[in-house]
């Protein structure tokens, strides 16, 4: 759902609103927030679109680009000839972003029951297998799927000192991802993982992974992308590995021109359930200012809160961390109240709610999470941010579309 800036300007003129500063003031947001909403590559949240329409006295379809209206996503994707399979689908961040980019996912595999239910709750028509990936046969998709995607867990390989190939990685979830790539033989694959994969097992794990993909006939490249540079209000670094068949061009997405803050994405956030702190933890966190952490406590309280960690010195700035409204959030984890990775609300002494978590991960408000409270936080915390997935998806879509056009001419 992208807003057409030219259409907005025309309606501003009709209403006598001369500048974006005036419009932002009427919306109750900052000029920078409005610039982000109107940016070419940004998908705004529904509440902002509704407020903008109310002020301009127009309907959403009068200011939205028809090609990007979110109500048309499923319709447009059903007609798309760019297809994908996703493994380890989780709560749907990657699949949703690819859908928004115009890619049709033919099958998703996810073993976790709560994640499976979330996927089916939001997209009943998606072909989701609630299976152990090692039991899934992918060869039926050979020649029918353009892209294979997924985020396999980071696991070490055995047989130290040996240059490992595809068969040597059996027993790992990476092997199952590589097996899918081998059986499907897609034009492109995309694997997402934590930044720590680069240094895992002294770099040996990544070396094996790259070697296996090259053995399967792919040109492989990787980059560490920070979601904050791609329309996500969160500092979240992930390695994105891309494999292409020889001669296929892929370019990583360009960075956005602006950085979103917590204030930008949590304005008018719907109320939802969330975890709470113990009374003992609250007495410490209430003393910490926005943007601060345990370092801001008096020394005697630092020692009480940190325990033995106080004497290890340095680092640990994620502990007792209260996020500031005017900065992006730190990386979200599977639980908002873990002591090592505290993410306290800027004003209220509590963890972020489920919907706030989802907003920070750029999920739309109508994406529902199913399961217990812990399941919901885990699904969101493990997800690929939707906006980052969309930006990557657009580049994948462009690469495949160009190739199909060339093939059609030959």
- Give SS3 for 236: coil
Nearest Cα neighbor of 63 from 80, 44, 49 is: 49
Token pair, residue 116, equals 């499976």
Q: H or E element: which one contains 224?
A: strand 219-226
* Active-site entry in 53, 154, 293, 344: 154
- Please confirm, yes or no, whether 154 is among the known catalytic residues: yes
Q: H or E element: which one contains 343?
A: none
Q: Where are the alpha helices (DSSP H) in 79-203?
A: 93-100, 113-122, 173-184
Q: Are strands 219-226 and 237-244 parallel, antiparallel or unpaired?
A: antiparallel
Nearest Cα neighbor of 181 from 172, 171, 194, 191 is: 191
* Residue indicated by tokens 């007792």: 320
Q: Is 46 exposed, middle or buried (0-12, 13-18, 19+ CB in 10 A)?
A: middle
Q: Which residues are catalytic?
A: 154
């Amino acid at each position: 759902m992208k807003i057409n800036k030219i259409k907005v300007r025309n309606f501003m003129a009709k209403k006598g609103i001369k500048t974006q500063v005036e419009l932002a003031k009427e919306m109750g947001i900052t000029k920078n927030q409005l610039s982000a909403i109107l940016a070419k590559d940004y998908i705004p949240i529904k509440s902002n679109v509704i407020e903008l329409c109310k002020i301009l006295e127009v309907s959403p379809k009068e200011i939205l680009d028809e090609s990007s209206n979110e109500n048309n996503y499923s319709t447009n994707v059903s007609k798309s000839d760019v297809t994908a399979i996703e493994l380890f689908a989780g709560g749907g961040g990657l699949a949703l972003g690819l859908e928004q980019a115009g890619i049709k996912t033919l099958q998703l595999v996810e073993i976790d029951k709560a994640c499976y239910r979330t996927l089916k709750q939001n997209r009943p028509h998606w072909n989701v297998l609630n299976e152990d990936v090692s039991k899934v046969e992918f060869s039926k998709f050979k020649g029918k799927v353009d892209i294979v995607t997924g985020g396999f867990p980071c696991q070490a390989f055995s047989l130290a000192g040996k240059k490992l190939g595809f068969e040597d990685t059996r027993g790992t979830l990476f092997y199952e991802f590589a097996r899918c790539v081998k059986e499907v033989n897609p034009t492109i694959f995309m694997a997402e993982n934590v930044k720590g994969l680069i240094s895992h097992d002294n770099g040996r794990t990544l070396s094996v992974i790259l070697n296996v993909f090259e053995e399967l006939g792919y040109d492989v490249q990787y980059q560490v992308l920070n979601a904050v540079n791609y329309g996500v209000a969160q500092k979240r670094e992930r390695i994105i590995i891309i494999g292409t068949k020889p001669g296929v061009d892929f370019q990583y997405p360009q960075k956005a021109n602006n950085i979103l803050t917590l204030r930008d994405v949590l304005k008018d956030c719907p109320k939802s359930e969330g975890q709470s702190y113990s009374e003992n933890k609250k007495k410490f966190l209430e003393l910490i200012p926005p943007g601060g952490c345990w370092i801001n406590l008096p020394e005697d309280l630092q020692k009480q809160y940190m325990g033995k960690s106080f004497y290890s010195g340095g680092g640990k700035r994620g502990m007792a961390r209260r996020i500031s409204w005017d900065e992006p959030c730190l990386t979200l984890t599977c639980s908002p109240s873990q002591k090592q990775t505290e993410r306290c609300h800027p004003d209220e002494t509590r963890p972020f709610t489920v919907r706030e978590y989802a907003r920070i991960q750029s999920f739309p408000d109508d994406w529902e999470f199913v399961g217990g409270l812990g399941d919901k936080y885990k699904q969101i915390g493990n997800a690929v941010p939707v906006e980052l997935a969309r930006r990557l998806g657009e580049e994948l879509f462009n690469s495949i579309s160009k190739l199909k056009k060339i093939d059609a001419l030959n």
